[in-house]
Amino acid sequence: MEFDFLPQLPKSDLDDRTFKDLVDECLLRIPRYCPEWTNHNPSDPGVTLIELFAWLTDQMLLRFNQVPRRNYVTFLELLGIRLQPSSPAHTVLTFYLTRPQDMLRSVPAIPDGAEIATERTEKDTAIVFSTSQELQIGLPLIRYFLTEEGAGIQPQQVRDRLTNQWTRDNGGRWTGRQQTVFQMMPQTNDCFYLVFDAAEPLDGNVIVLTIEGEPAGSTGINPNRPPRHWEAWDGLGWQSVLLREEDDGTKGFSFDDVERRGLTGLTEAEVTLHLPLTWVTTTFGGYHGRWLRCRCTQSETERFSRSPQLTTLYAQAIGGRVQASECSHVVNELVGESDGTPGQSFFLQSQSILARQEGEYLQVSPPNEPPQRWQEVENFANSGPSDRHYTLDPRTGRVQFGPLIREPKHLQEEVQLRRQVQWQGHTLSQSHLERVETLERQYGTVPPRNALLHMVAYRTGGGDRGNVPKHALRILKTALPYVKQVTNHEPARDGANEESLEEAVLRVPRLLRTRNRAVTAEDYETLTLQASRTVGRAFCPTQQNGNPPGVVTVYVVPRVSLQNLERGIAPETFALTTPLRQELEEFLGDRCLLGTQVNLREPNYVGVSVQAVLGVEPDYQVGVARVELRHSLNRSLYELLNPLTGGRQGTGWSMGMPLYQSDLIGLFQSTKGVQYLDTVQLFELRRETGWQRQIVITGFVDPGQTGVICSWADVQRQSAHRIQILGGEAEL
């Protein structure tokens, strides 16, 4: 008996040979087993017998060896196992206004769900992203201008530079006599702070800071690489807010090649700053507001010979930044009309439905009655006859209502008999007898006949196609007033396709061992992988060294796009984004033991660069074959050193697994065209050494207990592989 309300997993054919394949295979065996057979024409009686044999075999293959596989899939369906849906990609969109925000004519907020898309081409359709929250553009009013010498993590001994020295006009512009921002002889970590009004919504705003001061060409710095950092306090630390050096029009307060003049006649320039998405209000030293600072970071080669002097400070908001995900919004879709029967199902017009949020639900409108809000559940196991429940398969968009289960009469009698035996000496109550005599049970109520079904709202999208590069999102799909440009300054990440049946077969045994509860280290790894398709790998060390009691650390490697393996995958690509972190913390928090806290971290990625000198066979020493061989070796190295799909087994590098020189030697020796190896050298790049390329003299790369091997190409870091082929054409 097959129940319609169970999840329908895709079935696969174990033997996909066709009639033609069987005939061709038999004809190929004739010279080996019957060499005297020379007539292979279709009219030959022997070929006719072969075709008859192939036809009978083809009929048997329809059922042959299908039972074990299909039974396994059916068992998964009985367990309620569903394939995990696709995950949407996430990025940060930056909106730039046609004019700055001002007090008299306010720019309206950018709404939640505003759609931005990539450019549509002849081959590729547009990929749509939607904002995840409302973006408000505020008025960045400077309240305090403070300085500190040798600042630490938090401001301690600050000096007020505005009171009784500068004045502010109605527009928020502060002006006054010249003031130094650092010491007369600037030292490292000298800072000046700008504290903004806490009442204004400045989260994620893009501001232009207008600075007027004396040209400081004699300060002794390089205007293209000034020794200073612009940072904002996000509640946990100081976050960099200068997107690129070109955004600093003051050239590090040197005003190099700046001809613009301010109100006082001195040189004036602008600094564009992209503020944190969450810019919290904080109190330091009695000053309350949102904190922004410029920190002196001079070194032995780059130093201010004297402090810059300023006369004017003025801030304006010219845009904002907001989180966005790859999805499209569908509102008030008519699903269908109920016929009143149990277990009925409907399909939404779209597939790949994303996780439902508040306000995304099914609405049932019975005839002559007000609309009803129904609740989505994972299954009907705990649904009673009066519960307004439904299920929604995110992969197919299938909306399912509760079934009516009828039990055979003999099963009911056996259950009642067992109860009487177990309860000897007890009299069954009338309610027990009535429950036993019931031969059918309704799991969840059914919409009445002729009731209209509407999906109030839902979002569709997801997949690795959403991992678009930076500056790819430029087309406004939603009309937004006062917005002249939009872009993504960082590539989209975390997009993943839906789970395949083969992946589910490997996942389910581990899932059954966890029982949806995180107790052991293996449980945490399994549930982290189950939480989102965005997770590529998860590691939970059995020895949680250095953690306080009740804290469990889980190292997460996000799933990234593997389309461009020609240059490897840089460690920055595996960054644990805020949406993914929040999703995992919420999922694991509901399943870990009471009083246990989960700490999600990124592994310590250790880059590997290979330099090899080798000899090749004569056919590969010149021309296209030589170029293709070099290209093939580079690609093989990046595939081997991939954290997700590399390693010795092709399943990725486990945390703490070292890379030996013999692993690379085996790769070179198995490559067609390589004749011998002259030298193979390993170089490692670590974050703690500034990604400096260092030679490995031990013959292996040990990433450490929390390290993972990776490889990528970067010209500045010199992390690419270098393969030199001896003989033939000269090396470039």
Look up tokens 């899932």; give the residue: 511
Lowest mean pLDDT segment, chosen from 52-56, 116-120, 299-303, 523-527: 299-303
b/e code 101-124 from CB counts within 10 Å (16+ = b)? beeeeebeebeebbbbbbeeeeee
pLDDT confidence of 375, banded at 50, 70, 90? very high
pTM above 0.95, yes or no: no
Q: How far, rounded to the nearest angstrom, does the alpha carbon of residue 465 sit from its chain's CA centroid?
A: 12
Q: Could you give the angle at the alpha carbon of 712 between the alpha carbons of 706 and 714, nearest 5°?
A: 120
Q: Name the residue among 189, 400, 168, 399 with its Cα closest to residue 299.
A: 189
Coil vs helix vs strand at 173: coil
- Whose tokens are 């966005």? That residue is 324
Contacts of residue 98, defined as CB under 8 A and 6 or more positions apart, other chains included, come to 482, 483, 484
Maximum average pLDDT range among 171-175, 557-561, 583-587: 583-587
Instruction: Quote the pLDDT of residue 214.
Output: 74
What letter would DSSP give residue 116?
E
Confidence of residue 50 (pLDDT cuts 50, 70, 90): confident
Higher pLDDT, 388 or 436: 388
CA 278, chain centre distance (Å): 19
pLDDT number for residue 484: 92
Are the C-beta atoms of 495 and 532 separated by less than 8 Å?
Answer: no
The string of pLDDT tens digits covering residues 434-461 is: 544 456 788 889 999 999 999 999 999 9
- The predicted pLDDT at position 302 comes to 72
**Which pLDDT does position 604 carry in this prediction?**
92
- Tell me the backbone φ, ψ of residue 20, rounded to 5 degrees: -65, -40
DSSP codes of every residue in 403-418: -EEE--HHHHHHHHHH
For residue 188, the one-letter residue type is T
Mean pLDDT rounded to a whole number for the chain: 84
Q: What is the mean pLDDT of residues 136-156?
A: 88
Q: Which residue has the higher pLDDT, 67 or 157?
A: 157
Average pLDDT over residues 671-688: 87
pLDDT at 442: 85
Residues facing 473 on adjacent strands = 118
Asked if residue 502 lies in contact with residue 127, where contact means CB atoms within 8 angstroms, the answer is no
pLDDT value at position 731? 46
- Domain 142-325: assigned CATH number: 2.60.120
CB-based contacts of 22, cutoff 8 Å, min separation 6: 53, 54, 57, 58
Type of residue at 100 = P
One-letter amino acid at 553 equals T
Residue, of 222 and 156, whose pLDDT is higher: 156
Average pLDDT on 382-398 reads 90
DSSP string, 196-240: E-TTS--TTEEEEEEEEE---GGG---TTS-SEEEEEE-SSSEEE
Q: What DSSP character marks residue 482?
A: T
Least confident of 114-118, 406-410, 483-487: 406-410
pLDDT tens-place string over residues 357-368: 888 999 999 998
% helix, strand, coil for the chain, step of 5: 20, 30, 50
Q: Are 554 and 524 in contact (CB under 8 A)?
A: yes
Q: What average pLDDT score do residues 535-544 get?
A: 88
For the cut 80, the answer to whether the pLDDT of residue 558 exceeds it is yes
Burial of 141 (0-12, 13-18, 19+ CB in 10 A): middle
What the block records as the tokens of 352 is: 């790949």
pLDDT given at position 560: 81
E strands, 407-563, in order: 440-442, 452-461, 473-476, 483-487, 535-539, 551-558
- Mean pLDDT confidence for 579-593: 88
pLDDT at position 356 over 80? yes
Position 499 confidence tier, pLDDT thresholds 50, 70, 90? confident
Q: Is the pLDDT of residue 340 over 80?
A: yes
- Chain position carrying tokens 């004297």: 306
Cβ burial, residue 145 (10 Å; 0-12/13-18/19+): buried
| Encoded tokens for 542 | 């059995």
* Nearest by Cα to 215 from 184, 160, 257: 257
pLDDT category of residue 178 using cuts at 50, 70 and 90: confident
Neighbour-count burial for 183-193, b at 16+ CB within 10 Å, e otherwise: eeebeeebbbb
Residues in CB range of 661: below 8 A, 6 or more apart: 680, 682, 699, 700
Q: For residue 622, which phi and psi values (nearest 5 degrees)?
A: -140, 165
Note the pLDDT of residue 370: 92
Question: What pLDDT, on a 0 to 100 scale, did the predictor assign at position 671?
Answer: 87
Q: Is the pLDDT of residue 429 over 70?
A: no
Helical (H) or strand (E) element with 178 = strand 174-180
Q: Are 188 and 296 in contact (CB under 8 A)?
A: yes
Go through the chain and tell me how many residues it has.
732
Specify whether the CB–CB gap between 132 and 92 falls below 8 A.
Answer: no
Which of the four pLDDT bands, split at 50, 70 and 90, describes residue 732? Answer: very low
State the sign of the Cα–Cα–Cα–Cα dihedral 332, 334, 338, 343: negative
Please answer whether residues 216 and 250 qualify as being in contact, where contact means their C-beta atoms are separated by less than 8 angstroms. no
Residue type, 715: V
pLDDT of 236 reads 84
pLDDT of residue 8: 66
- DSSP structural state of residue 550: T
Distance spanning both ends of the chain, measured CA to CA: 70
**Of residues 699 and 423, which shows the higher confidence score?**
699
Q: Which residue has the higher pLDDT, 3 or 698?
A: 698
In this structure, of 214-228, 576-590, 616-630, the range with the lowest mean pLDDT score is: 214-228
Residue 390 has pLDDT above 60, yes or no: yes
Q: What is the mean pLDDT of residues 559-571?
A: 75
**Would you state the pLDDT for residue 58?**
78
Among 653, 633, 631, smallest CA distance to 642 is for 653
Burial class (CB in 10 A: 0-12, 13-18, 19+), 571: buried
**715 pLDDT exceeds 80?**
no
According to the model, what pLDDT value does residue 425 have? Answer: 54
Q: Which whole number is the average pLDDT over 223-251?
A: 87
- What does DSSP assign to residue 401? E
pLDDT of res. 618: 85
Backbone angles phi, psi at 33, to 5 degrees: -100, -20
Phi and psi torsions of 203, nearest 5°? -60, 120
Share of the chain above pLDDT 70, in %: 89
Q: Indicate the pairing of strand 551-558 with strand 597-601.
A: parallel
Question: What pLDDT was estimated at residue 650?
Answer: 83
pLDDT above 90 (res 173)? no
